Amino acid sequence: MTRYVPRHKFGFPLRAIVAGSVAVVLAVAVLVLPVTAQAHTVLRSTNPAADGKLTTLPATITLTFNSKVRTEPGAIKVFDNDGKRLDDGTTRLTTGDTTAIQRLRPGVSGLIAVGWRVVSADGHTVTGSFTFTVGAAPADTASVQKSAKDRLSNATRTDRTAVIVGGVGRFIALLGLLVATGGALFAASIAHGWRPRLLGASLSGTAFGLMLTYLSDTAITRGSSFGGAFRLHALVVESSNPYGRAAIITCSMCLLAAIVAPMLRSAQPGTVPSKLARTTVTFVFCTLAATTSLAGHAVVTSPVAIRLPLDMLHVLAASAWLGGLIQLGYLAASWTGGTTDTGAGTTSLAAAAAVVEPIRLDWVQRFSNVAFGCVVVLLATGVYATITEVGMSWHALTTTRYGHIVLAKLLLYAGTIPLAMLNRSTLVPGLRARPKDASSLLRQYVYREASLLIVIVGLTAWLIGSDPHA
């Protein structure tokens, strides 16, 4: 039996096209991402120290982090006993952007409260607070401390609406991207002659979801309400933050993907698009999927040279699996009665039995093999990501919300392996043995796996916005 290896006009296999698209995004990553990386941004030290006692108020407050950070106006807020601001709202970064310095107004004593908010190298917002005392402690210490705690809570809070909108946006963007990329790959590399459905809607959904996440991240990094994200200056500043920059790049690729997608439908009905057209579409959509890795945990988890490409491969595998399943759903819907529809019209049952059905069974068989490979890749890359982000600590996996989400995701992936093996060995024989039930059998297969994958996409969207230490 000859193994099917999709190739383009010049004879290069599909894996070379995928590798090329990943290489392009990696080259972009080298230009826009930090050269060095730490696992996660944490505050190393403060000057003055937390809970320290000083005789006079220092001219500045210094925060030192373990990796590069970015600051927005008002990143460090300092309050006196009466709740008056002692900072000037301008924070200066030094020592390779790992140290934040805030100037203070002199001549104040009592309990000093400090609240801070910075953007880490992976795009997540990190907040914290501490207090110290200058001179004699306030007479009503308990009351002053409570007031300071309330002020710090307000200074470091994150708008709940922004968090919810961001989570919804990430889910929509990720789901749309996976469906669009997988649908294009299905038509370009597995089912030659199939006209993919939902590409335009999926790309539009991706762009809409990215817009929501852009606005959400703008509000979160500034510490403002969601409405505050609509200010022009805030939107411009967000473009220089990791998530904002990645969203712009991915949106740009969505536009390019929308331009090249019609190449899969440009051929005459009943014919296959050219190899050059299929290659172009494959390259563009693989590059689109890879851009999702330009912000988040993968860009700051060492070794980045391994972690980042594997994260891109993880997204591509998820795309090929989920997006292909959606196309199979449309294939099943048209594989009914006495007619069959490939997107170019209908044929008689005799013609379908003689021509279309064998082709479609071949498509299903190819996809079943690809889906099984995707499951293995997803599980392997997911385990590696877990090890690099939270280590081999069972305690970290079982005592943090982040660990719980990771475990749930890995267990779902592991559970799909026997399902994928069963489908691989029984689906096509079942379709051949029960041609009248082919449509319902295929729909059941699609519904089972697609439902599971959509849950995993939801967990992934949750992980993207989560702190591994939380």
The pLDDT mean for the chain works out to: 78
Q: What is the pLDDT of residue 256?
A: 94
Q: Where are the beta strands (DSSP E) in 9-54?
A: 43-47, 53-54
Cα angle at 6 between 328 and 434, to 5 degrees?
35
When mean pLDDT is compared across 12-26, 230-244, 386-400, the lowest value belongs to: 12-26
**27/241 Cα distance (integer angstroms):** 19
Q: Average the pLDDT over 155-166 and give the result.
A: 86
**Confidence class for position 36, pLDDT limits 50, 70, 90:** very low
Q: Average the pLDDT over 245-255 and give the result.
A: 93
Q: Average the pLDDT over 285-307 and give the result.
A: 83
With contact defined as beta carbons under 8 Å apart, do 342 and 334 qualify? yes
Strand partners, 113: 79, 131
Q: Which residue has the higher pLDDT, 255 or 52?
A: 255
Concatenating the DSSP letter of every residue in 347-397 gives E-HHHIIIIIHHHHHHHHHHHHHHHHHHHHHHHHHHHHHHHHHHTT-HHHH
User: What is the percent of the chain where pLDDT is above 70?
Assistant: 78
Amino acid at 156: T
Tokens of 214: 């852009």
Concatenating the DSSP letter of every residue in 119-133 gives EETTS-EEEEEEEEE
Amino acid at 319: S
Q: What is the pLDDT of residue 413?
A: 74
User: What is the percent of the chain where pLDDT is above 90?
Assistant: 15
Tokens of 189: 């590399």
Say whether pLDDT at 242 is over 60.
Answer: yes
- The domains of the chain are located at 14-32+189-198+257-348+355-464, 43-156
**Confidence class for position 392, pLDDT limits 50, 70, 90:** low
173-217 residue pLDDT tens = 999 999 999 999 998 888 887 888 889 999 999 999 999 999 999
Say whether pLDDT at 7 is over 50.
Answer: no
Q: What is the pLDDT of residue 206?
A: 94
**Confidence class for position 25, pLDDT limits 50, 70, 90:** very low
Strand partners, 318: none
Among 3.40.30.120, 2.115.10.20, 2.60.40.1220, 3.10.100.10, name the CATH number for the domain at 43-156. Answer: 2.60.40.1220
Q: Which residue has the higher pLDDT, 453 or 185?
A: 185
Sign of CA dihedral 118, 120, 125, 130: negative
Say whether pLDDT at 28 is over 50.
Answer: no
Q: What is the pLDDT of residue 18?
A: 46
Q: Which residue has the higher pLDDT, 199 or 343?
A: 199
**Confidence class for position 1, pLDDT limits 50, 70, 90:** very low
**Confidence class for position 350, pLDDT limits 50, 70, 90:** very low
**6/14 Cα distance (integer angstroms):** 5
Quote the pTM value: 0.78
Phi-psi region of 95 (alpha: psi -120 to 50; beta: other; left: phi over 0): left
When mean pLDDT is compared across 121-125, 143-147, 331-335, the lowest value belongs to: 331-335
When mean pLDDT is compared across 196-210, 279-293, 319-333, the lowest value belongs to: 319-333
Q: What is the pLDDT of residue 423?
A: 67
